Structure 1
Amino acid sequence: MFKRISELLHTYKNYDPAAKSLLEIALLYPGPKALLCHRVAHFFYGNKLFFCARLVAEISRWMTGIEIHPGATIGRRLVIDHGVGVVIGETAVIGNDCIIFHGVTLGGTKFNPIKRHPTVGNKVLIGTGAKVLGPLTVGDGAVIGANAVVVKDVPAGAVMVGPLAQAKG
């Protein structure tokens, strides 16, 4: 566990030139705190301790401004930059080495108890304020621009921009 925490803190340090120390990142950056809390909440959720899972998630949201449902599956080395207003839904899946900026929503479009949130591949960047909605797939290496609204699958390596995101490239 300590190896994973160290790996995450070093990821932030390598990503953010403003970061002065690992201690600063651990204590003052909301992303690592939200991700650590999510790991605990996800453990409870996986063991059907749903109240405990939601309690940890609620405390995390209150502390960080980042809302991650305990059921969401998150890979390694996710960077949540600034973080306030990030919402990640229950059936969302996020790969490794992704970057998510503040105000991003990985949300659903239905209330049915089915897969209703996005699956995000590896090395994906999702810009400030983007909304990625529904059970779609974002391919590896894709970039979603700021304030884009994505409601269809995104091919690997694509750049999506605009109010109803269109591929550019």
Structure 2
Amino acid sequence: MGFQDRTNDLQLIKRLHLASRALDARGLRLPSRLIDGVSRILFAASIPGQAKIGGNVFFHHSGLGVVINRASVIEDDCEIGVHVVLGGKAPTLGAPHLERGVIVHAGARLIGPIRIGEGSVVGANAVVLEDVPPHSLVVGVPGVVKRDGIDTRAYNR
């Protein structure tokens, strides 16, 4: 069973986000926030409706413990592990932008208005504070690029 087969049916966390996003887009802030609250209760996750999340994004273990800044962008075909944080860095405006096909492993922290290049992999518990070029493997605290030119098929589920 390939990656595409496992992500075709939307996960509940993704459905809740889509509903919250649709309500927020219509200016219905209170119902949107109520749905965000349901995500927090069910999954201990904070994925606000304002966050832009593309298609076919997969949250491991239903997004358990994931915290996403409302200004974050996650493009299509990304994978997000448990206890991942995509956060801002006050007073700087902005939040992480994950380009297509990025894999973020468990416990990683991506902080500030940074861009993670297409097809990159963020290792478990890495703390990423700077942009990551496409097709790179970044690990450590602070995160440093250990490999470039990688193929994400070697790093996904």
TM-score when normalising by structure 2: 0.85
| Cα distance in 2 for residues equivalent to 1:74 and 1:117 | 13
| Cα distance in 1 for residues equivalent to 2:105 and 2:42 | 23
More helix, by proportion: 1
Residue 64 (structure 1) aligned with residue 43 (structure 2): yes
Identity of aligned residues (%): 32
> Which residue number corresponds to residue 11 of structure 1?
6
Residue type at the aligned position of 1:56: I
- 1:45-78 deviation digits (Å, cap 9, x = unpaired): 1122111111111112211222201100000111
Q: What is the CA RMSD across the aligned residues, in angstroms?
A: 1.9
| Cα distance in 2 for residues equivalent to 1:85 and 1:64 | 7
Which 4+ residue blocks in structure 1 deviate beyond 4 angstroms?
none
- 1:147-169 deviation digits (Å, cap 9, x = unpaired): 00001001101110001000011
> Which residue number corresponds to residue 153 of structure 1?
131
Preserved CA contact (<8 Å) 1:160 1:168: yes
- What's the secondary structure of 1:67's corresponding residue? coil
> Which residue number corresponds to residue 81 of structure 1?
60
* Structure 1 counterpart of 2:34, from 46, 55, 58: 55
- What's the secondary structure of 1:68's corresponding residue? coil
Ranges in structure 2 where 5+ consecutive residues have no aligned partner:
148-157
Ranges in structure 1 where 5+ consecutive residues have no aligned partner:
1-7, 14-21, 27-31
- Within 5 Å, which residues of 2 pair with 1:19-168? 32-82=11-61, 83-110=63-90, 114=93, 116-168=94-146
* Distance of aligned partners of 1:133 and 1:156 in 2 relative to their CA distance in 1, 3 Å threshold: same
Residue type at the aligned position of 1:93: V
| Cα distance in 1 for residues equivalent to 2:72 and 2:130 | 15
Deviation at 1:9, TM superposition (A): 8.6
TM-score when normalising by structure 1: 0.79
Matched residue count: 144
| Cα distance in 2 for residues equivalent to 1:69 and 1:118 | 14
Deviation at 1:137, TM superposition (A): 0.5
| Cα distance in 1 for residues equivalent to 2:48 and 2:87 | 11
